[in-house]
Amino acid sequence: MRRRSLAGLTAIAVTGGTLLATGTPAQAAEPTTLYVKKAAANCSDQGPGSETTPFCTIGAAAAVVTSGQTVRVYDGDYAERVTFTRSGTPDAPIGFIANGNAVRLVGPTAGLVIDGQHDIGLQAFKVNGTIDLPALDIRNSSNIEVASGVYAMASATTAPVVRVTGVTMASLRDIHGTGTALTNGITVDATSTDVTVERATLVTGSQYDSADRSSGIRVEGARNSVLDSVVGGFTGAAIEVGPGASGTVLANNDIRGGAGHGIHNRGAANTAITNNSIAGRCVDGVRVDGASSGVSVQNNTFNSNGQSGQSFCDPKVTGGVEIGVYDQSLTSTVVDYNNTYHSASPSSTNYSWSGAVMGLAQFRTASGQAAHDRDTAKASDRVDSANSAAPGFPARDSQDESRHDDPAVTNTGAGPITYADRGIIETVKSPTASFDVSLDLGASSVTVDASSSTPGFVPIKEYVFNFGDGINVTQASPTATHRYATPGTYDVTVIARGSDHLTGSSTEKVSVLRRTATVGLLALSNRRYVATAAPVLLPNQVGLTAAAQYDLADAGNGQVALVARANGRYVTQLANESLNAAGQAVGTPEKFTVVRNSDGTVSLKASNNLYVTADPSGAISMSASRSTISASEKFAQVPVADANRSLKASVNGRFVMADAAGVKPLIASQTSASTWERFDIADLGSGQVALFARANSRFVSADGAGSKPLIANGPAVSTWERFTIVRNSDGTVSFKAGINSKYVSADGAGSKPLIANGPAISTWEKFTLG
């Protein structure tokens, strides 16, 4: 019974949310589209209704439209009550479409009237402020389709939001009706048949009024349906099925709090009340009474109906039940596979049978019904336990989800689908896709690890990786690496698909930028390297370890981004000014300006215009929190390739050592290189470097302004610690001291300490980097 199509309206198609008249125009010379643009300066109700000369009013278009034409209405407030006086045909219907959210019919008499017509479709119209007339009034018509209507009634309204009278074959979808005191929501009279109300939302104030017996949806005719709708408030009933009704289907409706009954079957025959959720009504959740016959109440969930303690309940009514069956309806009403729960009262008040209030066990005895009902509010008790053979059973839930079997739950349902759920929601556990990203700017690649994805009801069968550059990879493994041909920021999507074909997806932006260098940042505050530690930054590493390596990337406009090679993530300045390496994409917080200081060190200015600082303790995570540059905001930039290097003097083939752990001057005396023979070469810019001794974490100094031997005793970089590196044609290097412009020499053919006294480069002034 769900999603019934209108056999007489097959030529009206809804595509991408737009109602389109797809049939052939009645006359070939006529345009297929007419236009209404109140705001257009050249609009005319005597014009052709063309795009260049549109009508000013909707009524003018309605007076001339012919079968097969579509009328498009554009932005504006139209003070009209439009009566549609022309019909389409089954193959060439008439369509009226509101283009955009700003199309409204306004005023106390505003609305839409279809009287004595057929094959008409309306879409997306808004009506505001109607008082004594329905916002939508359909009379003596057939093959009518209305979609996406929003109708806001005036507070003093005396009319229903929608009135359907003498109508055959109509579909009302996505109707939203609001008002502080609606008389009624939607009424379908006894002469209307085959009317479907689907995905309606009707909400009004719930305050009880003894003179008011309003209903959210009232159905009187034959073979009508109310599906997937939300109804709240109303003092008569959320949904009322009158004595003239027969073959009514009420399925997948979400009925919320209000003064009246949830569903009241008032003498109607063969009503299917199936898979609804009913909660918070002041009186009975479902009431079947009068001469009702052949009523089925199955697969519904009930919670806290009949409590009558709310302020909007009738003070004369002392309470109600979840399900009540009364009068002549006792003989043929079927009640089964429901979940009922009375939160504020004992479960012995869940049911009423012929006026006697009782619990589930008593109800079973008295009625012979409810063999599979459950007294529970637990969501897990709804799962895989409905009767799919119940009249009006919806093959899909209120969210348009098909039925799915939870293999962890024993199927206790009945009918052809024993794993259908009770209530309006089918419990579906789709896979959840989540992934981590690791960047390798050197390879211009990204590694996407989706192993943190979680399965649904069944294991994940495959992963689909969409890397955002037109490349898609489908595989069983959750990890994939991809190389980008062009630097940029891409939308990376991972889809996890279960063996039941259910999917979950996740999309994140990932930046793969052009790498300019790979360096370590040596903090001058404590002469320790900055490292990434899950994922904060701490200046605490002795030596340029793997955790202390960063790729510098071109972020544009002279700025850089830093990727921590420890986890392949960008360094980000957070709102609290702290730094961490957690970014996948480069935005403003991932961009830094590199400031080259006069001593050759660098400072990093973050997006908050403050400088990155490194606490000397090495135990406090780094932040961008200083407005000026001091020693704590200075860093020596050490290329990774120039870390942990050795220097072998050409003159004697011996390695240079910082003797006695740096206490004594440097001398080329060792046959092998260990810690004392290792140096990090910091790039100070303009070809200048500093030598950082691993032996004692001090900078090599041309002591005594170059008059004394080199010694690793510099706590910072000054003129005495600056050298220009010269790359000789034979592959060796030489160092010219910045303080005196003399070359570092292995004095005495290497028998004496190194000293910056060489006027030119000879064998004594050449070294091989190892």
CATH no. for residue 696? Answer: 2.80.10.50
630 lies in a domain? Answer: yes
Q: Which two tokens stand for residue 189?
A: 């009279």
Name which of 263, 262, 219, 207 is nearest 243 in CA terms: 219
Whether 700 and 736 share a structural domain: yes
pTM: 0.75
The size of the chain, in residues, is: 770
Q: What is the CATH number of the domain that holds 457?
A: 2.60.40.10
The neighbouring-strand residues paired with 103 are 76
Distance of CA 225 to the CA centre of its chain: 33
Whether 449 and 537 share a structural domain: no
4-35 pLDDT, tens digit each: 333 333 334 333 333 334 344 444 457 899 99
In this structure, the number of other CB atoms found within 10 A of the CB of residue 102 comes to 12
The neighbouring-strand residues paired with 497 are 462, 503
471-500 pLDDT, tens digit each: 999 999 999 999 999 999 999 999 999 999
Please list, residue by residue across 165-179, b when 16 or more beta carbons sit within 10 angstroms of its beta carbon and e when fewer do. Answer: bbbbbbbbbbbbbbb
DSSP 360-383: HHHHHHHHS--TT-EE---GGGGT
57 lies in a domain? Answer: no
| Domain end (from 622, 639, 656) | 639
Whether 278 and 138 share a structural domain: yes
Q: What is the model's pLDDT at position 313?
A: 84
Whether 501 and 519 share a structural domain: no
Whether 447 and 578 share a structural domain: no
248-304 pLDDT, tens digit each: 999 999 999 998 999 999 999 999 999 999 999 999 999 999 999 999 999 999 999
Whether 172 and 278 share a structural domain: yes
666 lies in a domain? Answer: yes
370 lies in a domain? Answer: yes
Give the three-state DSSP class for 706.
helix
CA–CA separation, 23 vs 70, rounded Å? 10
Give the three-state DSSP class for 351.
strand
Q: What is the CATH number of the domain that holds 377?
A: 2.160.20.10
Biggest distance spanned by C-alpha atoms of the chain: 122
Whether 711 and 625 share a structural domain: no
User: Percent helix, strand and coil across the chain, each rounded to 5?
Assistant: 5, 45, 50
Whether 480 and 545 share a structural domain: no
107-147 pLDDT, tens digit each: 999 999 999 999 999 999 999 999 999 999 999 999 999 99
| Count of the separate structural domains present in the chain | 4
539-585 pLDDT, tens digit each: 999 999 999 999 999 999 999 999 999 999 999 999 999 999 999 99
Whether 571 and 655 share a structural domain: no
Q: What is the model's pLDDT at position 24?
A: 40
659 lies in a domain? Answer: yes
81-99 pLDDT, tens digit each: 999 999 999 999 999 999 9
CA–CA separation, 736 vs 134, rounded Å? 94
Whether 621 and 651 share a structural domain: no
201-217 pLDDT, tens digit each: 998 865 555 445 789 99
Q: What is the model's pLDDT at position 94?
A: 98
Q: What percent of the chain has pLDDT over 70?
A: 95
> Mean pLDDT across the chain, nearest whole number?
93
Q: What is the model's pLDDT at position 122?
A: 98
Q: Can you give the residue range of the structural domain that contains 476?
A: 436-511
CA–CA separation, 111 vs 137, rounded Å? 8
141-167 pLDDT, tens digit each: 999 999 999 999 998 888 999 999 999
Q: What is the model's pLDDT at position 183?
A: 84
Give the three-state DSSP class for 136.
strand
Q: Which two tokens stand for residue 251?
A: 């399925």
CA–CA separation, 675 vs 670, rounded Å? 12
62 lies in a domain? Answer: no
In this structure, the number of other CB atoms found within 10 A of the CB of residue 30 comes to 14
Distance of CA 328 to the CA centre of its chain: 51
Q: Which two tokens stand for residue 86?
A: 């022309």
Q: What values do phi and psi take at 235, rounded to 5? A: -100, -15
Q: What is the model's pLDDT at position 211?
A: 46
CA–CA separation, 157 vs 127, rounded Å? 13
| Domain end (from 339, 367, 382) | 382
**In which region does residue 194 sit, left (phi positive, over 0), alpha (psi from -120 to 50) or beta (all else)?**
left
Cα angle 335, 417, 386; round to 5? 30
747 lies in a domain? Answer: yes
| Domain end (from 476, 511, 546) | 511
Whether 700 and 589 share a structural domain: no
Whether 485 and 554 share a structural domain: no
38 lies in a domain? Answer: no
33, 61 in Cβ contact below 8 A?
no
